[in-house]
Structure 1
């Protein structure tokens, strides 16, 4: 039996991408798409999805407000946040509200698939076992991002924000063979050029990436950053 999914996303293009991503993961079925909080509430009164994929920035309310409504009227529904929001208060609210996972846009299919499959595994453990071992119980609370090879294992030092770091880490798999400059990363991630350079240099210290001087057409060298083989 498929896990029924409802997508709540105001950008119809992204909603369609999330829908196509969901359909590519075995065992999941999209049964509804809502583009506003009010529409989502109305649909939730009619349908009972197992899982909601929720954006934070909706035109009529924040997704965090909608979480409260879902928890009050449909406490059995699970929620995965898929959003550009990385503010600490929003992430903290989502965590305290029992959100299953938190994915920061732009979303890669691998990250999306990883989240849904981890959620599926958790459901299987809860639905097909009467008792669980300590290891199995621990795994139910393990954040799927901790299982993702792009997350830095050590505690980030002063000046390195974990949310910004993870945003950059999730972008790294998209870096092509020719590498990336701090200016290119700045444009892609929305951070300043100096911030992009600081985080890239930090990732070198973590052996997540490496840098080299590359000479362009005009002969001026530029520092480019490349993924290590395990990324």
Structure 2
């Protein structure tokens, strides 16, 4: 089993920091290494750390630093750490500078969980690719450089998966679906089993329906609206 990816959150608003912490912990394969509120705290944490985090979630508006000064300090001192900007700063000049500095992604607040999850899954897939190979084919390099947020993964047969679908999560959803048998499974239950949100699980299940690997049925309860239930394709 792969070790969890360590994430440092740099955010001065404790409420947003807590939301970010919960978001990180909801994505399988990631764990929060620490939360700091200022640039000084961030640099002290990293300089004293026995093990550096692999990823930093960074806000532009930090009280004791100007603009992207902290970002550039991080890039110069800790080149092995990737940075994802999570900020309310949406000025083109700031975004361009951050992109030129080599950020993995730039997300403008407020960030919804689905968007956040897609970015972390993309980061996880890229990291897996870069740590398991010594050389890359041109197509693999294109996947790393061609799309900033969601590299287009490939199915096992070599065909491309649609945007927002990654092979690792898809395999887990397929396994849960097959294990459910004739009783089927809802998006809520699938998400709980795999460790993703209900809406994310539904996106994967609907994809399986579209490629005829699953069938969607309406599940009627005693009260309320009917809910879609998914069963393995048998037709």
Q: Is the 8 A contact 1:37 1:63 kept in 2?
A: no
Q: Does 1:39 align with 2:41?
A: yes
Instruction: Tell me the equivalent position of 2:22.
Output: 20
Q: Is the 8 A contact 2:122 2:151 kept in 1?
A: no
Q: Is the 8 A contact 1:115 1:144 kept in 2?
A: yes
Moved over 2 A (4+): 145-150
- SS at 1:33 equivalent: strand
Q: Specify which of 143, 148, 152 is matched with residue 148 of structure 2.
A: 143
User: C-alpha separation between the residues in 1 aligned to 2:62 and 2:122?
Assistant: 26
User: C-alpha separation between the residues in 1 aligned to 2:81 and 2:7?
Assistant: 10
Q: Which runs of 5+ in 1 are unaligned?
A: 151-172, 174-231
Q: TM-score by structure 2 length? A: 0.61
- Compared with structure 1, are the counterparts of its residues 63 and 116 closer, same or farther at alpha carbon in structure 2 (3 Å cutoff)? farther
- Compared with structure 1, are the counterparts of its residues 127 and 113 closer, same or farther at alpha carbon in structure 2 (3 Å cutoff)? same
User: C-alpha separation between the residues in 1 aligned to 2:76 and 2:99?
Assistant: 17
- SS at 1:60 equivalent: coil
- SS at 1:7 equivalent: strand
Instruction: Tell me the equivalent position of 2:137.
Output: 133
- Compared with structure 1, are the counterparts of its residues 143 and 59 closer, same or farther at alpha carbon in structure 2 (3 Å cutoff)? same
User: C-alpha separation between the residues in 2 aligned to 1:88 and 1:146?
Assistant: 23
Q: Does 1:61 align with 2:65?
A: yes
Aligned residues: 151
Q: Specify which of 28, 31, 40 is matched with residue 29 of structure 1.
A: 31
- Compared with structure 1, are the counterparts of its residues 46 and 30 closer, same or farther at alpha carbon in structure 2 (3 Å cutoff)? same
User: C-alpha separation between the residues in 1 aligned to 2:163 and 2:141?
Assistant: 22
User: C-alpha separation between the residues in 1 aligned to 2:113 and 2:66?
Assistant: 25
RMSD: 2.0
Alpha-carbon deviations, 1:98-138, whole Å to 9, x = none? 00000111100000000001011110110001221212101
Mapping of 1:1-231 within 5 angstroms? 1-47=3-49, 48-62=52-66, 64-141=68-145, 142-144=147-149
- Compared with structure 1, are the counterparts of its residues 149 and 130 closer, same or farther at alpha carbon in structure 2 (3 Å cutoff)? closer
User: C-alpha separation between the residues in 2 aligned to 1:138 and 1:58?
Assistant: 34
Alpha-carbon deviations, 1:194-219, whole Å to 9, x = none? xxxxxxxxxxxxxxxxxxxxxxxxxx
Q: Which runs of 5+ in 2 are unaligned?
A: 153-161, 165-198, 200-235
Q: Is the 8 A contact 1:6 1:32 kept in 2?
A: yes
Q: TM-score by structure 1 length? A: 0.62
Q: Which moved more, 1:54-63 or 1:25-34?
A: 54-63
User: C-alpha separation between the residues in 2 aligned to 1:140 and 1:63?
Assistant: 28
Structure 1 position 44, deviation (Å): 1.1
Instruction: Tell me the equivalent position of 2:157.
Output: none
- SS at 1:31 equivalent: strand
